[in-house]
Structure 1
């Protein structure tokens, strides 16, 4: 009798453990075919709720993402065809990589346009097995041109093509990359750079790590460019990796003249390092000295500019954009914001799509039960992004630039600090503001791309806009 009682107790204990685990496992499963509009719950940020509720009814909004295109007619000023391949390729510095290319190389071709140009890019997928897209990182294109599989288009399958058309209205330094299985495809080479309104002799420096080897423009180690002493140069630095890079110029003082494609107001001379978030860009301006060369440093790689002696290394101090430069009008009034959102990043143990682990959370919720930030066109939006997850996160909002208002409660006092990608360190909190002036359904995610694939992503959706595209399904869309 005692033996049976013991077995019953053991069975009860086992069921008490397994039943809740089975429930948590089952409720964590993500459908293999769903609309982004069905994710999570609507967050209206204290503003009025929309005429269309979330869920199935949202699919009947007045405007489809597919209709929010760039110019459909007109001869392009810049026309480029990019052929995506899975292949082994050789870096300019000689190392072999088994990954992805665009027109046979990685990084892919530099696209240059003048402000106001009509840009047309045709993506042809020759052999990328999971499909591919092109996202124009930092360029606030019309929503249908944003290149996010399952949200703004279907992934381009092998043998297919997709045409992107947009006006190059924003001068600055940008980059493009796949937004389909992006944690793998970007890592393995499916990206390139795009500059709008730049000079022909500007220096482009795309930082990327292939198979553990950090490169600048695909070159490991040290490289040298012949630049005459006394010449003023603009170095456009792009961080295409998943983590922050300490970069900057050594050998002479420099100015931070633009961040994320936006000019800095009243830049001053600096000699400290610049903390460049994953996905972010910074433009540095300096005069090549007569006595020594300039050096762009990015950890284990560097670019020597000029023929003089090589300078030293970056100092430990860093440029702080919260106070750098001088104030200027914002063009919006955060004090009269229509909506206030909280974006709280955390981490919790549990299941995600049936897999146990430690997973990122947004406002206490695991993907896909995360907030959908709802706005109406014309709104002024204030968002507070806070991080208690134990790791830093470079947060990227598609389709918009936001201005930093404060960090950890300290108000910004320098130049307006406009960003599309913001490094939010652990235990940090930022208040940002932006104008809801680009209708669509926009991703808002961590640009440490494995973090996005682990659930640190949600969307900003406009009133009356819905998407016909689906995640998963026959097109196998995986936007991460």
Structure 2
């Protein structure tokens, strides 16, 4: 009798063991599935951080049982009324473009080219852009990377607007409040649409009555300097500068300066260095460096999404200097037909922005922060929208169950970005610039390092701060865009701000 029962018993035990393994996996799979329609404000847990109690956060509906502050929709967070100073229509199309003789690719263009036209404005101008989606499938938007636009103009599908369908249009209005180098790109299926070229440069010059910043020597060098946008983008294996493969020549007389505005639109870091001359790093991510000294034999690391403005003077001997863009191409500065040295290898030394330039007031007191948050980047096995694998986590959670960092307008906010994920991440907070306070416990000692695209290597810890002075719901994500689509995304939300827009595959709004 015992022998007859043992096969049955073994099958029962095996079934129970299989159930014990499969049922939790099925539950994990099911709970990881992103809803077909959901609001970003309901996706993950609200985090209020540590710090003094902030009255305007107390009573937030759904968190401590009190009444909510008066709700403000993202649609109401707009630029002031009035006639615009700059108007332009940008039309996106799907078409085939020629990168070099014999080299063509399927791309997304803006006004018939990729990158699209450089948008220029002066500081303080009211800018109005009409975006038309002529033929980009799946919808598209425009996000103004690095420009602290009002939230309604941020261009994030499913958060601040619906994606613009084929045949549709959308108008963006914002004040170009800060002079600097920026760029625009789609924030709908961004990992694909940016890669295929739906992007362009933005240059905001100082106010017409402003004197050049950076000290008398820099001001003197900037007089008569040639202004050169240099948007770097890779189409497959072809790296381009301003849409063309190879070097970009900039013709200037000996002794004349060029302001080279390097924009890294790709997903990895872009090392930049100068052959044949010294240079100064004038600005990072649209913010001037205070007291920038001359640099030789060092590379500047430009993160994905980041910008670096280099001041380069054409050599007095009539030769040309090369602003090397990763070693694959260069901006060549000098007289027409000038000889230039061959491309050089990346210098062994890298310019450390933590100590470059001279100190200046921050305009905020990080030691008296109202809110303090941790943004811990990790990686863990599990399911992401039903897909098994190793996935990025934020504070231990996978998308869409990622943090919503909640602040009140006027807060001084500190955030510690701690990368424990096994890989580097260029972190980008929309609508704000952050100032770097320290890296791995070493305090900043040079010019205030204001940034919106911060490269955080594996194992690094950055302490940053910012003033919460731009109400809205803002993405705070990795700008290696495939990482964002794999869930490395969180959000910053001001108390009392809501959105009528929805995310999810059923909505057609897929910002990553």
Scaled by the length of structure 1, the TM-score of the pair is: 0.96
- Cα pair 1:93 1:219 within 8 Å, conserved: no
Match among 431, 436, 440 for residue 468 of structure 2: 436
SS at match of 2:311: strand
- Cα pair 2:407 2:492 within 8 Å, conserved: yes
- Cα pair 2:59 2:66 within 8 Å, conserved: no
Structure 1's 247 and 150: CA in aligned 2 closer, same or farther, altered over 3 A?
same
Tell me the alpha carbon deviations over residues 173-220 of structure 1, each in whole angstroms, 9 at most, x when there is no partner: 000000000000000110000000068930111111101221111222
Question: Deviation at 1:310?
Answer: 1.8
Structure 1's 273 and 200: CA in aligned 2 closer, same or farther, altered over 3 A?
closer
Match among 23, 28, 33 for residue 24 of structure 1: 28
Structure 1's 234 and 67: CA in aligned 2 closer, same or farther, altered over 3 A?
same
Q: Which has the larger radius of gyration?
A: 2
Match of 2:329 in 1: 301
Question: Deviation at 1:359?
Answer: 0.5
Match of 2:43 in 1: 39
Q: How do residues 108-127 of structure 1 correspond to structure 2 at under 5 angstroms?
A: 108-127=116-135
Match of 1:247 in 2: 272
Match among 36, 46, 64 for residue 73 of structure 2: 64
Q: For the residues of structure 2 that align with 1:92 and 1:59, how far apart are their CA atoms?
A: 57
4+ aligned runs moved over 6 Å, structure 1: 55-60
**Count of residue pairs brought into register by the alignment:** 479
Match of 1:3 in 2: 7
Match of 1:281 in 2: 307
Scaled by the length of structure 2, the TM-score of the pair is: 0.90
Q: For the residues of structure 2 that align with 1:31 and 1:58, how far apart are their CA atoms?
A: 28
Gaps of 5+ in 2: 207-223
Structure 1's 154 and 112: CA in aligned 2 closer, same or farther, altered over 3 A?
same
Question: Deviation at 1:147?
Answer: 0.5
Tell me the alpha carbon deviations over residues 398-431 of structure 1, each in whole angstroms, 9 at most, x when there is no partner: 0001100000000000000000110000000000
Q: How do residues 171-250 of structure 1 correspond to structure 2 at under 5 angstroms?
A: 171-197=179-205, 201-250=226-275
Q: For the residues of structure 1 that align with 2:136 and 2:58, how far apart are their CA atoms?
A: 40
Q: For the residues of structure 1 that align with 2:507 and 2:347, how far apart are their CA atoms?
A: 49
Match of 1:91 in 2: 99
Question: Deviation at 1:54?
Answer: 5.0
RMSD of the alignment, in Å? 1.8
Structure 1's 58 and 143: CA in aligned 2 closer, same or farther, altered over 3 A?
farther
Are 2:112 and 1:80 equivalent residues in the alignment?
Answer: no
Q: For the residues of structure 2 that align with 1:229 and 1:29, how far apart are their CA atoms?
A: 62
- Cα pair 1:92 1:218 within 8 Å, conserved: no
Question: Deviation at 1:341?
Answer: 0.3
Mean Cα deviation higher: 2-11 or 285-294: 2-11
Tell me the alpha carbon deviations over residues 252-285 of structure 1, each in whole angstroms, 9 at most, x when there is no partner: 1100010000000010111211000000000000
- Cα pair 2:225 2:259 within 8 Å, conserved: no
Structure 1's 352 and 57: CA in aligned 2 closer, same or farther, altered over 3 A?
farther
Q: How do residues 262-281 of structure 1 correspond to structure 2 at under 5 angstroms?
A: 262-271=287-296, 272-281=298-307
Match among 11, 16, 19 for residue 15 of structure 1: 19
Mean Cα deviation higher: 294-303 or 59-68: 59-68
Gaps of 5+ in 1: none
